[in-house]
Amino acid sequence: MKKTYLMIFLMMMLVMAGAGCSSGETEMKAQSGGKVELTVSAAVSLQDALNDIKKSFEKENANVEVHYNFGASGALQQQISQGAPVDLFFSAAEDKFDKLVEEDLIEEKNGIDLVGNDLVLVVPKASKKEIGSLEDLTKAAKISIGTPESVPAGQYAKQTLENMNLFKEMEDRLVYAKDVRQVLTYVETGNVDAGLVYKTDALNSSKVEIIAAAQGDLHDPIIYPVGMINNLDHAKEAKLFYDYLQTEASMKIFEKYGFKNLK
């Protein structure tokens, strides 16, 4: 009898263990859905355009799921340098991208200068300040720009103010932001009198007015390079998305949001 009970007990344990494994395997498959997941670190100013591109890409490539990590290009570059698991980097500045090339994290042949942008001066729609040009920034009590060390738009803004001999005069009035979208928010809410942001961001806001664009000779060229990180787990799928960003359909989306086609 004892042997019989022991055999029954062992058989029950085996059945339960098998069911557990089957359940675990089913759960893992359900979680993954059989899809390859890509992580793309991209400048926050690309958010709207890239979300549209993601929709069309995933419709055509049902086996690939794209996840974005949006932020300031400098912060994203540092994350990748420190080992963050990323498949592609889409920067708003060449120097941040070149840093990863220098560190052998991106091969030059696996990168391209894809789109460009403009730097513009914006004020709140209901502003009563008489700001009609970049020179009129001296009339503003508070001006927001991105933190120059980590935010390319802030770097371009600082260069513009320096080349206009306004930076030292206005330094105490500058309100620094973590990225260009935060600059835009400060202007939209009236927390500052003016801000320097990308044209693409300004065009998507109904709460600000574009006053002027900074001339190209006042700052470095605004170029957005994109590239694949070396030693990828999903190199085939990363190349698929990298190539898709360069298609005519994708370029039309970028242009719709105000970016310049640099291809």
Binding-site residues sit at 45, 73, 153, 180, 198
- The whole-angstrom separation of Cα 193 and Cα 131 is 9
- Edge to edge, the sheet with strand 64-71 lists 64-71, 36-43, 88-90, 223-228, 111-116, 260-261
Please provide the DSSP assignment of 136-185 as one string.
GGGG-S-EEEE-TTT-HHHHHHHHHHHHTT-HHHHGGGEEEESSHHHHHH
Q: Which residues make up each annotated binding site for molybdate?
A: 45, 73, 153, 180, 198
